[in-house]
């Protein structure tokens, strides 16, 4: 019998990828590929890994003589849509186009803090400190506590993802406006208002789902210069955050901390297209050691 975590992973993989599992036992929201009758590559990987570990343990207990799972290879999945990042000019165009829309505050905070879309959708006002804590020692500037997400269980993606981020002045400005606008929405909704304490919510206070955010995001971008709104998604604001910091010379270690990664290796793997080559120490030192006059 496998460990509880292994069994849970196996059940989740089967629930996501096997059509024989009863509908009542599947996750509430299924991936579009699964709805189309396709098995997700990540589900196959999870299933293969769980079976491989289980058979290895059985071999250690002399229950089986051979691990046939190792003879099987997980087929390659279809390539996903490559992510991209906004340039500074494009980012300014996006902010200008979104101003005055219902998504303006969301876009500003996402782009200027690098928070994940599932973290912003779960952000509550009790984790927003627009005045900071000047009485603290040392004084704390305006900040948000990114401690929750809309993932199952409400926790962030990883333990390192729980972080407290100082807010740029533009974020402070738009969040004060968001707080005021939400007050008017609450009055307009009357008895229909559903209080969840969310910073980003519907006109009646209900949580936003990924589809709501993506649709509103594209509407907000429709007038942005040199931007095709249909080609962009909210999560690419986070990619743009990484790219803009990297272009400005911010060290990879600091970027990794800001985006809530467990280490720089994760940041380099996930955002390899957005990060500029920064490991220049060896080249600089060697140029100094082996000085050579370059020919014109």
- Positions marked catalytic: 116, 157, 238, 261, 271
Which of 268, 256, 209 lies closest to 234, judged by CA?
209
Hunting for tokens 């986070």 — which residue is that?
238
How far is the C-alpha of 231 from the C-alpha of 234, rounded, in Å?
Answer: 11
Residue-by-residue DSSP string for 223-289: T-TT--GGG--TTHHHHHHHHHHHHTT--HHHHHHHHT-SSHHHHHHHTTTTSPP---HHHHHHHHH
Angular region, 154: left φ>0, alpha ψ -120 to 50, beta rest? left
User: What residues are paired with 124 via a beta bridge?
Assistant: 198
């Amino acid at each position: 019998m496998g460990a509880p975590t292994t069994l849970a992973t196996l059940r989740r993989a089967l629930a996501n990828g096997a059509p024989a599992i009863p509908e009542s036992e599947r996750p509430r929201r299924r991936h579009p590929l699964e709805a189309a009758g396709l098995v997700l590559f990540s589900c196959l990987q999870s299933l293969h890994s769980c079976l491989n570990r289980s058979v290895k343990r059985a071999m250690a207990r002399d229950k089986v003589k051979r691990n046939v799972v190792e003879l099987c290879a997980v087929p390659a999945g279809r390539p996903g849509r490559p992510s991209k990042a906004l340039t500074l000019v494009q980012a300014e165009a996006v902010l200008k186009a979104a101003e005055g829309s219902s998504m303006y505050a969301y876009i500003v905070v996402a782009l200027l803090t690098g928070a994940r879309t599932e973290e912003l959708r779960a952000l509550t006002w009790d984790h927003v400190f627009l005045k900071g804590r000047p009485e603290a020692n040392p004084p704390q500037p305006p900040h948000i506590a990114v401690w929750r997400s809309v993932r199952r269980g409400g926790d962030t993606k990883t333990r390192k993802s729980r972080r407290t981020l100082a807010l740029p002045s533009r974020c402070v400005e738009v969040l004060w406006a968001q707080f005021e606008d939400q007050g008017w929405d609450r009055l307009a909704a009357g008895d229909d208002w559903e209080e969840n304490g969310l910073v980003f919510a519907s006109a009646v206070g209900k949580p936003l789902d990924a589809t709501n955010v993506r649709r509103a995001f594209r509407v907000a971008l429709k007038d942005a210069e040199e931007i095709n709104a249909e080609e962009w998604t909210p999560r690419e604001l986070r990619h743009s955050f990484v790219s803009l910091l990297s272009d400005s010379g911010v060290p990879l270690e600091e970027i990794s901390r800001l985006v809530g990664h467990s280490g720089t290796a994760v940041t380099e793997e996930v955002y390899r297209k957005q990060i500029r080559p920064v490991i220049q120490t060896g080249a600089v030192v060697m140029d100094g050691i082996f000085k050579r006059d370059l020919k014109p």
